[in-house]
Amino acid sequence: MRLPLQVRVRGRLLRSKLIPGWVRQRSARLSGFSREYRLVGYSDDARSQISNRDGWQQVPVVARQHAAWEHLLESLAAGDTPRVDVDNLRVAAFRVVSPHDVVLEIGCGSGYNARLLTSFEPSVRYIGLDSSSAAITYARRVDDAMRLVAANALRLPLNDRTVSVVLDGAALLHIPRWEDALREECRVASHAVILHSVTVTDASTTAFLTKRAYGYVVPEVVIARSDLQAVLDGCGFVVDCVLPGITYDLEPAIGIPTVSETWVCRRG
């Protein structure tokens, strides 16, 4: 599929060997595509204020995100060392995904994680789910054989324990009612839930913010570690391991120290 010119130029710049690797990595995730962080607050009022930011519904966001990841996938195929979050996905899959498992990705975007997962375990049966119709349409254009569902993580159209593993693909941090989404993910997973690239803080309170991602405003949640643990406990899931992810400290922007992590959780 041919990407829009602007997206191809940006992707080419990101691939340029003239730019140091760490700058390329950082710019793809933070300064390049995520900026203008704005702390809205900690209350339910703050939660509802960020709920109407619909950047993920925009076609250019999906296209730009796809281009950024296309670059990462190409560099992996060329034998480059995987970026830490990509490697985390590999380690997480190794720990909880078995051959022929059905893996449901929540927040699949254009579906590039399907390519990563099947490169780690080719027999995996992948299903991508996203609430953005732009994402699902784009993913279908990329690979019309991919199994895709347009649905909201808050109301998964699946019976209890019907997929082996749920992979939350960096969606939870963009869902203001993240607790309800996580309960849904745990409900439909028979075996394990991978919370990939979740933004966590050691502060005691979960915070609600907005940021500009790939040019459009989206909601973001910095989840208090204790809050995340409490929801998992309530769902009967135990944390198998926590993998540190890319550098993602939002303290300079919003005053709250944060990290990005991948949590691998099993049904207890």
- Binding interface with ligand SAM (CB under 6 A): 56, 106-109, 113, 130-132, 135, 152-154, 169-171, 174-175, 196
Of 165, 154, 153, which is closest to residue 190 (Cα–Cα)? 165
Closest distance of CB 197 from ligand SAM, Å: 6
Token representation of residue 139: 């993913």
Angle between helices 112-120 and 59-77 (to 10 degrees): 30
* Contact status, residue 176 vs residue 148, Cβ threshold 8 Å: no
Cβ proximity to ligand SAM, 47 vs 196, nearer residue: 196
Cβ proximity to ligand SAM, 18 vs 199, nearer residue: 199
Closest distance of CB 198 from ligand SAM, Å: 11
Cβ proximity to ligand SAM, 214 vs 237, nearer residue: 214
Token representation of residue 94: 């190794």
Closest distance of CB 182 from ligand SAM, Å: 11
Closest distance of CB 204 from ligand SAM, Å: 25
CA distance 176 to 74: 33
- Kind plus residue range of the DSSP H or E element containing 154: none
Q: Which residues on adjacent β-strands are paired with residue 209? A: 39, 220
Token representation of residue 73: 């996938």
Cβ proximity to ligand SAM, 135 vs 224, nearer residue: 135
Token representation of residue 198: 């979740």
CA distance 150 to 87: 27
Distance of CA 199 to the CA centre of its chain: 10
- Cβ neighbourhood burial of 204 (10 Å; 0-12, 13-18, 19+): exposed
* Contact status, residue 192 vs residue 96, Cβ threshold 8 Å: yes
Cβ proximity to ligand SAM, 132 vs 201, nearer residue: 132
Q: Which residues on adjacent β-strands are paired with residue 120? A: none
Cβ proximity to ligand SAM, 73 vs 239, nearer residue: 73
Closest distance of CB 231 from ligand SAM, Å: 16
Closest distance of CB 18 from ligand SAM, Å: 26
Closest distance of CB 154 from ligand SAM, Å: 6
Cβ proximity to ligand SAM, 64 vs 238, nearer residue: 64
Token representation of residue 253: 């922007």
* Contact status, residue 112 vs residue 138, Cβ threshold 8 Å: no
Closest distance of CB 209 from ligand SAM, Å: 14
Cβ proximity to ligand SAM, 101 vs 130, nearer residue: 130
